[in-house]
A and B are shown apart, each in its own frame.
Chain A
C-alpha cells in the first residue's frame, strides 16, 4: 500500500496530480527502455549504461505500481468517477502492464544477450524506433482521454499505423534472420528478440482499441 496521504480538501487536484505523475513515469520508462535497447545494439554487449537503465526502469515500475494502487484506492473510497472509474482503472492497469512487459523484455535481452546481433543492428534499431513510437502514441492518447476524449481517436490512428509498420519490419527481420547463414540457436535468439519488440507494439494497439471504446463512452 502506498503511503500517499490524500489531503482533506483538494482531493480532486491531488488525484489529477497522481494520474499525471503516473503517465509521466510511464513515458519516462518507455524512453529508458528505448535508450537501453539502443545502447545494447550499439555496443552489442551489456554495458554500464544498459545496467543503469535497467535499474532505473525497475525503480520506475515500482513507483508506477505504487501510484496505481493509490489512485485505485482513492477512486473507490472517495466514490469518484462512478461511471468511468472502471475504464480508468483498466486503462492505468494496462499501461502499467505495458511498462512491466517492456521492462521484463529488456531484462531478458540483457540475460540472453543474442550473438550475431551487429549484422542486424540497423534493422533492430528501426524496429525498436517504430515499436516505441507506437507505445508513445498510446500514452499520449491516454493523456488526451482525461481532457478531450473526442481527440483520442486521432492518436489511436497513429498507434495503428506504427503498429502496422512494426509488424512489417519484424516480418522483414525474421525473413533476413532465417535467410542468413546462422545456427539454429542464433536464429532462435534473434527471432525471439524481434518478436519481443514487435509484441510491444501489439500490446499498445490493444490498449488503443480499448481506449477508443472508453473515449466513445465519454463522448458528450
Chain B
C-alpha cells in the first residue's frame, strides 16, 4: 500500500519530466529541426537516448543548487510542488512558449517555502535570478564571437556549399547530443530531485553493474522526459528555432553550441577549480535556464547583423518569450501555494513537517550582545544557518 501511495506521489515528478521533455528538448535540437537540417524523428530519438544517459550517469547531485533554496521535507509536499511546476511548464508548452523548467521549479519551491513558513535563502535566490539575466547575455556574447569566428574561417577555407552543409549537419547532431546529455544531467535533478529521499526502489545488481535506487528513479524520470520529447516538443522547437528569427543552418549550430557553453560554465566544477587556481573569481554553480541561453544566442546572431538583423527579429515573439521568464516563476509560486493548500486541507495530507529549530550559539550571542532579551526558541526554518 505504501509503495502504491509513493508511486502515486511520484506521478507528478513524471508529469514534470514529461513537461521538461516537451519544453527543454527544443534547446538542444530546436534550431536544427526548425532549419530542417535534422528530421524531427531523428532529433527526438537522439535527444531521448542522451537525456536518459545523462540522467542516469550524471544526474545525481544536480539539484544541490535548488536544495539551498528550500528543502521540501514531506513527500506530499514534493508531489504538490512538482505538480505545480509541471502544470506551469505544460501550460506554457501548450501556448508554444519556451518556459524554463528550472524557473518553474524555483517558483514552486518558493511557493512551498511561503506555505510552510520556511525562509527562502535570499542570497541563493538572488544568485539564481541573476543567472536568468546573465545566461541570455552570455549566450548572446558567445553566439556573436562564435559566429564571427566561423564566418571568418569559412571565408578563408571557401568550402563547397555541400561540404559546408554536411559539416554543419554533423556539428548540429554532435552539439544536440551534448545538449541533450546536459539536459539529462542537469535537469533531471530539478524533476526527480524532490523524490530522492523517498525513492521506492531497491538497489539492483545486473552482473557487474549496480544500479542504485536513485539511478532507477532518474531512469524513469529520463523515460518521462523522452516521452515528452516525442509527444509534445515539436511546437516549441519551431518557436525557438524559427519564430524569433529565421536562422541559417550555420546560425542554428552556433546557437546550440553557445547554449551548451553557457550550461557548461554554470555547471562545471572543473572550470570553477581552474579559475580558483588562477586566482580569478569563480562562476557560481547554479541551475541556469537553457531556454534563456538559446533565446540570448538567437538575439546575439540577429544583433551581429546590424540594423538588418535587428529589423528581422520578431520583437513581438521575443516579448512573449521574455514575459514568460517573469510569469513562469510567479505562476509556479501561485499554483504551488494554492495546490499545497488544497492537498493539505482537502486531501488531509501533511505537505511539510514543522521543524523545531534553534538559533546557532553565535546568533544567540549576537542577540544578547545587542541588549535583546535571551532567546530560547526561535522562528522555524532557520536550522542549518
Shortest Cβ gap from A23 to chain B (Å):
12
B376 at the interface (CB under 8 A from A): no
A21 at the interface (CB under 8 A from B): no
- CB-contact partner of B163 in A16, A84, A148, A220, under 8 A: A16
Q: Is the CB of B162 within 8 A of A16?
A: yes
Q: How many Å lie between the Cα of A89 and that of B250 in the bound state?
A: 21
Per-position binary interface string of chain B over residues 24-64, scored 1 when its CB falls under 8 Å from any chain A CB and 0 otherwise: 00000000000111010000000000000000000000000
A80 at the interface (CB under 8 A from B): yes
> Chain A residues near B160 (CB, 8 Å)?
16, 146-147
Q: Is the CB of B162 within 8 A of A83?
A: no
Main secondary structure of the interface of B (DSSP, over half): helix
Shortest Cβ gap from B139 to chain A (Å):
20
A12 at the interface (CB under 8 A from B): yes
Per-position binary interface string of chain A over residues 131-150, scored 1 when its CB falls under 8 Å from any chain B CB and 0 otherwise: 00000000000000111101
B154 at the interface (CB under 8 A from A): yes
Q: Is the CB of A218 within 8 A of B36?
A: no
Which residue of chain B has its CB nearest to the CB of A15? B162
Q: Is the CB of B154 within 8 A of A220?
A: yes
Which residue of chain B has its CB nearest to the CB of A87? B161
Which residue of chain A has its CB nearest to the CB of B157? A147
A213 at the interface (CB under 8 A from B): no
Q: Is the CB of A83 within 8 A of B161?
A: no
- CB-contact partner of B161 in A13, A82, A150, A218, under 8 A: A218
Q: How many Å lie between the Cα of A19 and that of B162 in the bound state?
A: 10
> Chain A residues near B162 (CB, 8 Å)?
12, 15-16, 19, 80-81, 146
Per-position binary interface string of chain B over residues 201-229, scored 1 when its CB falls under 8 Å from any chain A CB and 0 otherwise: 00000000000000000000000000000
Which residue of chain B has its CB nearest to the CB of A20? B160
A179 at the interface (CB under 8 A from B): no
> Chain A residues near B249 (CB, 8 Å)?
82-83
Which residue of chain B has its CB nearest to the CB of A145? B161
A88 at the interface (CB under 8 A from B): yes
B117 at the interface (CB under 8 A from A): no
Q: Is the CB of A83 within 8 A of B163?
A: no
> Chain B residues near A88 (CB, 8 Å)?
161
B151 at the interface (CB under 8 A from A): yes
Q: How many Å lie between the Cα of A81 and that of B249 in the bound state?
A: 9
Shortest Cβ gap from B160 to chain A (Å):
5
> Chain A residues near B161 (CB, 8 Å)?
81, 84, 88, 145-147, 218
Q: Is the CB of B166 within 8 A of A83?
A: no
Interface residues of A in 48-87 (CB under 8 A from B): 79-84
Interface residues of B (CB under 8 A from A): 35-37, 39, 151, 154-155, 158-163, 165-166, 248-250
Interface residues of A (CB under 8 A from B): 12-13, 15-16, 19, 79-84, 88, 145-148, 150, 218, 220
Shortest Cβ-Cβ A-B pairs, 4 listed: A82-B36, A12-B166, A220-B151, A146-B161
